[in-house]
Amino acid sequence: MIPQKLSESLSLPAIAAPMFLISGPDLVVECCKNGVVGTFPALNQRSTEGFEQWLVEIENRLAGYTQPNGKPAAPYGVNLIVHRSNPRLYADVEMIVKHKVPVVITSLGAVSDIVNAVHSYGGLVFHDVINQRHAEKANEAGVDGLILVCAGAGGHAGTLHPMAFVNEIRSFFKKTILLSGCISTGRDIASALQIGADLAYMGTRFINTTESRADKEYQEMIIESDTADIVYTAAVSGVNANFLKPSLEAAGLTPELWSKAGKIDFGKELDAAQAEAKAWKTIWSAGQGVTSIHDVQSTQSLIDNLKQEFRSAIEEQYQLLQKY
């Protein structure tokens, strides 16, 4: 079930995931103008003041915009790291409430006080999870949707198969389900809905857009990579995530280090946020969906192609009804 405040503006049942260091106002705005929810991590700005500046910029650029199909721009969203290692959490929450951010995506903790703060102005809270226990806790906190981060997803990924995970969560969660993991084409979006999700959650594919903040070398590495080049390790951030093997090797990380459960010490002189940024700046994340990425194009062109692929896939499925 997609909340009405989302469905009335979407031109494609998808959200462009918030990507650390990659997502910024340009990518967010272009996604929203083309009917896809655009999002970014609050920590992509180094201060709460800078974070608010981005909120104002995005709001101003989307104000009064109408899509060619007559729909308003899709809402934008912000990702919050809800963890004690984030010293800015409640200062950023104040900005979110002040600006009434339409969609808030929480990670590494589902806290009812934050959910209630977003609900106070009518906002939506989606929480990312990698197992049933996390999903149950988020449900208790009152979130509006669960992002099921499955095997092969970019960034902090899980290990579960999407079919099993969606069925498991659907058994007790009756709100919005978003599916994450290897979704790079319009057909993939259609498949996510067939599995039982309400929305597709796409990250890696949007790295290779002209509005992305990714380095050209990063984008080229994605084009040249396949599933064998994706490494699942906790060595970079202390939490399991998928990274591009060539970038790990370039940073001097060996397979022996990949298998370590603990976080590598990138310098005690850095605070947690700076250390994380330093690591992810040169060690690049991507999901197994790289196999479907062969170019860099504008966000508008990408979404147009996704729409065409999505419609074709749905039409093919409809034709099966005539056969079976």
List the domain boundaries for the chain.
4-213
Q: What is the pLDDT at residue 144?
A: 97
Structure tokens at 189: 């979006």
Closest CA to 36 of 160, 144, 155, 183: 183
Closest CA to 89 of 73, 67, 75, 104: 104
Contacts of 253 (CB under 8 A, 6+ apart): 235, 236, 264, 283
Contacts of 306 (CB under 8 A, 6+ apart): 12, 14, 185, 186, 189
What is the value of pTM for the model shown?
0.92
Contacts of 203 (CB under 8 A, 6+ apart): 16, 17, 19, 153, 154, 155, 180, 287
Q: What phi and psi, each to the nearest 5 degrees, are found at residue 97?
A: -70, -40
Measured in whole angstroms, how far is the alpha carbon of residue 308 from the centre of its chain?
22
Measured CA to CA, the distance from residue 83 to residue 98 in angstroms comes to: 21
Q: What is the pLDDT at residue 269?
A: 33
* Neighbouring-strand partners of residue 78: 40, 104
Pairing of strands 199-202, 14-16: parallel
Secondary structure class of 279 (helix, strand, coil): helix
* Neighbouring-strand partners of residue 80: 106
* Neighbouring-strand partners of residue 178: 147, 199
Measured in whole angstroms, how far is the alpha carbon of residue 261 from the centre of its chain?
24
Amino acid at 263: K
Measured CA to CA, the distance from residue 164 to residue 179 in angstroms comes to: 12
Pairing of strands 145-149, 76-81: unpaired
Amino acid at 26: D
Q: DSSP letter for 105, please.
A: E
Q: Domain 4-213 is classified in which CATH homologous superfamily? A: Aldolase class I (3.20.20.70)
**Which segments of the chain are extended strands (E)?**
14-16, 37-41, 76-81, 103-107, 124-129, 145-149, 176-180, 199-202, 230-233, 241-244
pLDDT in tens, the chain (324 residues): 888 888 899 999 999 999 999 999 999 999 999 999 999 999 999 999 999 999 999 999 999 999 999 999 999 999 999 988 788 999 999 999 999 999 999 998 889 999 999 999 999 999 999 999 999 999 999 999 999 999 999 988 999 999 999 999 999 999 999 999 999 999 999 999 999 999 999 999 999 999 999 999 999 999 999 999 999 988 887 788 999 999 988 888 777 776 665 554 333 333 444 555 555 678 899 999 999 999 999 999 999 999 999 999 999 988 988 888
Q: Concatenate the DSSP letters of all residues of 218-252 into one string.
A: HHHHHHH--GGGEEEESTTTSS-EEEEHHHHHHTT
Q: What is the pLDDT at residue 266?
A: 34
Q: What is the pLDDT at residue 58?
A: 98
Measured CA to CA, the distance from residue 42 to residue 65 in angstroms comes to: 24
